[in-house]
Amino acid sequence: MNQNLQSAKPVILLNIDSLMPEPLEVAVQTGRAPALKFLMDNGNYISDMVTSFPTMSVTIDSTLLTGTYADKHKIPGLNWFDDSKNEIINYGTGFRETNKSGLRKTVHDMLYRLNNEHLSSQVRTIYEELADKGIQSASINSFVYRGNTPQKLQVPGLLRGLTHFKDGQWTAEAPSIFSLGVFSKLRPRSIATQIAAGNYKYTGRELRHLIRRNKLPGFTFCIFQDLDFRIHFKGPMDIKGIAKIDRQIQKMLNLYPSWEEALNRNVWMVMGDNGHAPMGSSYRNFVIDLRKIFKKHRIARIQKPIHKKDQIVLSVNQRMAYIYILDKKLPIDVIADQLKNDNRIDIIAWKADDGIRVESGMREGSLHYSPDGEYSDMYQQTWNIEGDPDLLNLKLTDDKKILYGDYPDGLARIYGALHSQPGHFIVVNAKPGCEFKAQSTPFHLGGAAHGSLHRQETLIPLVIAGTSIKPEHPRLVDMKAFLLELVDH
């Protein structure tokens, strides 16, 4: 579509994987991130946008792009169990675990099935909605990419054996401008430096290619993946990673006559996707081995198909886990009680009595809640709540308002995870400093991890420059509607 016919400016949304408010502020204040500083000084800065749950990239990006939580978009996490097909899904959680469950299957799950089978056909991505209005989009470096333009993805030479496709080539429905590491490139002769996603330099070059050729569409979504990896090992306050990505943004702004002109011509938005919780350093105290808790039960092995005698499947997403109960004779409260004996386990939630029951290894008592009730929260959602609100650190006021504490938008986000898939299962969250482990799960002692509902991992920064419009109670789940309004008003 001809850019001049559009009334709105092109919107560029940069998602810096694991960018957090505090290190961002430190980087900006100490002169390490001049481009981000410029955008913050000349725009709006929000330090507490609420992300999705589990706080894992694929679930978060699905929420951002569809405007729904996992109950609707149906991407439960990086690691989950598909009860309808009796199969463990892992989009790639770490080398050891990935190797056991089969690298070939992981690559196929991540690159193909996530978008073509798992992401619900009942929801629409922002790319699909914009295309219907005749507005083009670009997706750079995002594993969640569903659009409605057929695009060829090509797995290069040596890696061809890793896919289920003939000659390593297949067609996916994607946005009209589509870049994903080695699989689909905007600059045909460029070399992507990482097997899967492009690194920050490659990502920056792909986006600058669009700017230079005056090809920015109505909406561009671009992910920088590198920071997450660094923070897992170095801890949350890694400033160097932010400085490196900032240099890429400087180069984008430098393509315009002035940085101010870059804002006159486009809306620039920068966000993080999830926070990180610092991890304790001793294995014994901080790694919760779920196989030990359930040692009396038969747990499915990840390298084998599910056996008819398997009673439990464990799907760990760092600081959260799904515990699936396959054995029909095993009551869900018996499993929950075993979890409650470990005081490093925080929220334990499952579907019960037409609603959701919440207990905890850290607190006594229980809470039961369901949607559409007499209490209302700041997001205009209403709930029935019975029992002890402390379980979710909620404050209930005399005029029936709900105030969230340590678990922002906790009621809707737990509801989302518990309705993300059919089957009989429990959602658990680890206490700050701790994370879960099952068979061959990667862990992050002395570094940082995410996945849980806690505010540490939930509150993400959002910078909006080039427009004065900003969301009122910023949540990631509301970003799609906000972006649609910006791109097409």
CB of residue 320 vs Zn ion: minimum separation in angstroms? 12
Beta strand 459-465 with 177-179 is unpaired
Q: Which window, 122-130, 188-196, 228-236, 471-479, contacts Zn ion (CB under 5 A)?
A: 228-236
CB of residue 287 vs Zn ion: minimum separation in angstroms? 17
Q: Which window, 60-68, 79-87, 143-151, 220-228, contacts Zn ion (CB under 5 A)?
A: 220-228
Residue placing its CB nearer to Zn ion in the complex, 43 or 280: 280
Give the SS3 label for residue 67: coil
CB of residue 228 vs Zn ion: minimum separation in angstroms? 4
Q: Which whole-number Å values give the CA distances from 168 to 84, 140, 180, in the listed order?
A: 28, 21, 15
**Residue 54 preceded by cis peptide, ω within 30:** yes
Give the SS3 label for residue 228: helix
Q: Is 228 in the site for Zn ion (CB under 5 A)?
A: yes
CB of residue 413 vs Zn ion: minimum separation in angstroms? 18
Distance CA 63, CA 74 (A): 10
Binding to Zn ion, residues 140-169 (CB under 5 A): none
Q: Are 319 and 443 within 8 A, CB to CB?
A: no
CB of residue 286 vs Zn ion: minimum separation in angstroms? 17
Residue placing its CB nearer to Zn ion in the complex, 93 or 137: 93
How many of the chain's residues bind Zn ion (CB under 5 A)? 1
Q: Are 344 and 435 within 8 A, CB to CB?
A: no
Q: Which window, 46-54, 210-218, 221-229, 384-392, contacts Zn ion (CB under 5 A)?
A: 221-229
Residue placing its CB nearer to Zn ion in the complex, 18 or 115: 18
CB of residue 54 vs Zn ion: minimum separation in angstroms? 11
* Residue 341 CB neighbours (<10 A): 9
Give the contacts of 398 (CB within 8 A, at least 6 positions apart): none
Residue placing its CB nearer to Zn ion in the complex, 94 or 471: 94
Residue whose Cβ sits closest to Zn ion:
228
Q: Are 306 and 397 within 8 A, CB to CB?
A: no
Give the contacts of 286 (CB within 8 A, at least 6 positions apart): 279, 280, 344, 433, 434, 435, 445
Residue placing its CB nearer to Zn ion in the complex, 205 or 454: 454
CB of residue 450 vs Zn ion: minimum separation in angstroms? 6
Residue placing its CB nearer to Zn ion in the complex, 272 or 416: 272
Q: What would the two tokens of residue 309 be?
A: 């005698």
Residue placing its CB nearer to Zn ion in the complex, 19 or 253: 19
- Please give the residue ranges that form the binding site for Zn ion (CB under 5 A): 228
